[in-house]
């Protein structure tokens, strides 16, 4: 069985700093199995992520704001889920300081 506890995962954010994430990684891996991985993503102030190689689902845990996917803007709040196809431009904007989302990546590179 794979299990993750949000409170424990949030203690790992921010992660290590890098040129891509100068303020530290705003995500942490919960677990992975095969092509599937589950992460928690909690950016602060601005979302600078770039498109991913796999399809993904965002399960909004807390906070409100907007998600922009391939130029389309959608409001979000806790309890919503969004699908983002592999390689699609996307980012979160105008989000509250308490924004946290679960992210599930799966499938082959390039998407299904």
Please determine, for residue 109, whether its predicted confidence score (pLDDT) is greater than 90: yes
Q: Which domains can be identified in the chain, with CATH numbers?
A: 6-106 (2.60.120.10)
Please determine, for residue 1, whether its predicted confidence score (pLDDT) is greater than 90: no
pTM of the model: 0.95
| pLDDT tens per residue across span 53-64 | 999 999 999 999
Please determine, for residue 51, whether its predicted confidence score (pLDDT) is greater than 90: yes
Whether the CA torsion 84, 89, 94, 97 is positive or negative: it is: positive
Q: What is the pLDDT of residue 31?
A: 96
H-helix or E-strand spanning residue 27: strand 27-33
The answer to whether the CB of 49 falls within 8 A of the CB of 91 is: yes
**CA 93-41-43 angle, 5° bins:** 45
């Amino acid at each position: 069985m794979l299990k993750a506890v949000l409170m424990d995962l949030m203690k790992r954010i921010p992660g290590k700093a890098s040129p891509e994430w100068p303020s530290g990684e705003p995500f942490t891996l919960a677990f992975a199995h095969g092509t599937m991985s589950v992460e928690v993503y909690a950016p602060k102030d601005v979302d600078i992520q770039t498109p991913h190689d796999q399809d993904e689902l965002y399960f909004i845990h807390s906070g409100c704001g907007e998600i922009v996917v391939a130029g389309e803007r959608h409001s979000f709040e806790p309890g919503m889920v969004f699908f983002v196809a592999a390689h699609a431009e996307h980012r979160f904007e105008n989000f509250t300081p308490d924004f946290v989302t679960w992210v599930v990546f799966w499938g082959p590179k390039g998407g299904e």
